[in-house]
A and B are shown apart, each in its own frame.
Chain A
């Protein structure tokens, strides 16, 4: 395919997909190791009421109010889950289930009650996103990458996603030692002076940031899939955290690229006319990768654990 087709139609969705996948996979590594993988699931559900409330307050579909609303909703959800868990002495999974379903239901209800027919805001969009529509119409070919006039009309999701990825990477890099320490041995980390409670909250906030930014661009399926599948697959590839992170980045990139390409061109190869959902296909590919590593990954079994009959 020539640059004249590829750059305007596929380059930006592909890059956004890759950035979103990596930004979610990075905190996902720690969430999976800390057995908090489903926080990502909960966050991606509560983003919906946050966005709807932001829309009701500001009356417009703009990026920043919606991101703030979603982030606020994520924090409210985490606080409520903690409150139910501690005050009601309910196990964390059930507390999470109570809160995220209720908030999602509230979001759906609010959405149905408000007149959003004039704006592009509905449940399906929130779930699937619309990666394919993030095209860069002003580009004419590879040379547009150096053309400031065309660059000014990049879809705004791309720089936003890039900044998010940068923030998440910086967070992981700067807090690497305390994060690693508190993930594997929280008690030891605390005796070393790491404020583990604060660090755990910061991790959740980072995850929420990645989820909200990615959600805006690609919908919540990718968010949940990328939080869990690439890190889980990477976990089956290595015993070392550094290697696991690298693997997860590779897997996230691979899922984004393969998923996008298969969704866009696979049906054409099969003789069908229309493309299928890229977000869904990316999630599916990441699941296939996880399946392969679960069958053949070098570190797939629990080391030292007795084999169960």
Chain B
């Protein structure tokens, strides 16, 4: 059953939903990357909640004009207009009052959402039976999606992607260094607004599938996931698009398999699954990689300290140090150095003395700045320079037993 869903053999409607969700995932992942890099991820939360009064108002207007209230393009235009109003409110509050952006975001999202709920209750009192389906915009509903709806989503997603491709360089520049972008003569405020406009477009397109409460997840989670794998912004965007698209596709397919599996939440959970895997396994920024780095560092510190202790004839009490030295064949279980251990210890002590000379000498300031107690001196000095330092230290002396 799941295999059929994944290979798009579960009927016309399920195929439409799966393709639409995948397209939505790609465009929201890529758009979200720039939002995330600009450190304004939660602005999307305000934008998405601000769509609700627009949806309700558009419905009322369309009914008042004698039309069908559930016409999707009409509702989407309404939601876009009110999302734009919400966005302008956030921008205005942050720029013209002392309120920080997070307070502005929270205020706009709660007030617009509250107003939307009021309007929804007004619609419920307006006529009977006509309001069915508007609640679907809260959590998304893919049941009964029409081909035109899917087409709107596909075309909208493609347009948003095209705009991103056109704007990617200025948006990257603004995301990383707005002051520099300003000094280069770029209209930073307008680029920010364009970025938010794209976010708004994705939100509006996603209303039908994942709903306004959860669309934020599609903008944030894939971007964060992509960030774990690479430090280059274009690759983060590509990966975010990939993860978002996969999550949308998988989520829609899974939700088509059984009843009671709402599409929006499944898509969000699928993208969270990608996030968790990346969070743990990603090389470089992942938790496991971080843990290994920490253990390696700990090992180096312990061995270094152990060798210095051996060289100076001090007893070692730290069990971890002893174990590491023993494991490396540098010392016996009772803490007495092996032959190899004595050689390494003498080298460690000599290196320590070399570093001491090096750090006292202003001529080697640049090299001395690399000192952290662990680094091998050979990595910062040439053999000639080391020989010169050794000449200053003098020949090896007999260790007094």
- The answer to whether A249 has its CB under 8 Å from any CB of chain B is no
Contacts of A280 in B (CB 8 A): 113-118, 120-121
Chain A interface residues (CB < 8 Å from chain B): 32, 35-38, 40-41, 45, 84, 87-91, 93-98, 101-102, 104-106, 108-109, 112-113, 123-124, 127-128, 221-222, 224-225, 227-229, 231-232, 235-236, 263, 267, 272-277, 279-284, 286-287, 290, 294, 297, 299-303, 305, 308
Using CB atoms, name the residue of chain A closest to B210.
Answer: A105
Contacts of A90 in B (CB 8 A): 224, 227
B268 adjacent to A101 (CB under 8 Å): yes
CA distance A303 to B106 in the complex (A): 23
- The answer to whether B100 has its CB under 8 Å from any CB of chain A is yes
Contacts of A272 in B (CB 8 A): 122, 125
Specify which of A91, A102, A232 is in contact with B107 (CB 8 Å cutoff): A232
Contacts of A303 in B (CB 8 A): 98
B114 adjacent to A93 (CB under 8 Å): no
Within 8 A of A (CB), among B232-272: 260-262, 264-266, 268-269, 272
Specify which of A105, A275, A279 is in contact with B269 (CB 8 Å cutoff): A105
Q: In the complex where A87-B290, A123-B138 touch, is A37 in contact with B103 (Cβ < 8 A)?
A: yes
- The answer to whether B40 has its CB under 8 Å from any CB of chain A is yes
- The answer to whether B154 has its CB under 8 Å from any CB of chain A is no
By DSSP majority rule, is chain B's interface helix, strand, loop, or mixed?
Answer: helix
CA distance A287 to B266 in the complex (A): 33
CA distance A294 to B111 in the complex (A): 14
In the complex, identify which listed stretch (B199-207, B211-219, B331-339, B391-399) lies at the interface while the others stay far away. Answer: B211-219
List 5 additional A-B contacts (Cβ < 8 Å) besides A91-B41, A228-B110, A305-B98.
A97-B44, A228-B106, A229-B110, A232-B107, A276-B121
Q: Please give the distance in Å from B271's CB to the nearest CB on chain A.
A: 8
A281 adjacent to B106 (CB under 8 Å): no
Contacts of B100 in A (CB 8 A): 32, 35, 37
CA distance A276 to B121 in the complex (A): 5
Q: Mark B95-138, 1 if CB is under 8 A from A, else 0.
A: 11111101111111111111111101110110000000001001
CA distance A113 to B116 in the complex (A): 27
Using CB atoms, name the residue of chain B closest to A286.
Answer: B111
A277 adjacent to B216 (CB under 8 Å): no
- The answer to whether B285 has its CB under 8 Å from any CB of chain A is yes
A283 adjacent to B111 (CB under 8 Å): yes
CA distance A273 to B128 in the complex (A): 14
Q: Please give the distance in Å from A146's CB to the nearest CB on chain B.
A: 35
Q: Please give the distance in Å from A220's CB to the nearest CB on chain B.
A: 9
A105 adjacent to B217 (CB under 8 Å): yes
Q: In the complex where A109-B262, A109-B266, A284-B114 touch, is A35 in contact with B125 (Cβ < 8 A)?
A: no
Contacts of A128 in B (CB 8 A): 117
Contacts of B41 in A (CB 8 A): 91, 93-94, 97
Q: In the complex where A98-B224, A283-B111, A287-B107 touch, is A236 in contact with B116 (Cβ < 8 A)?
A: no
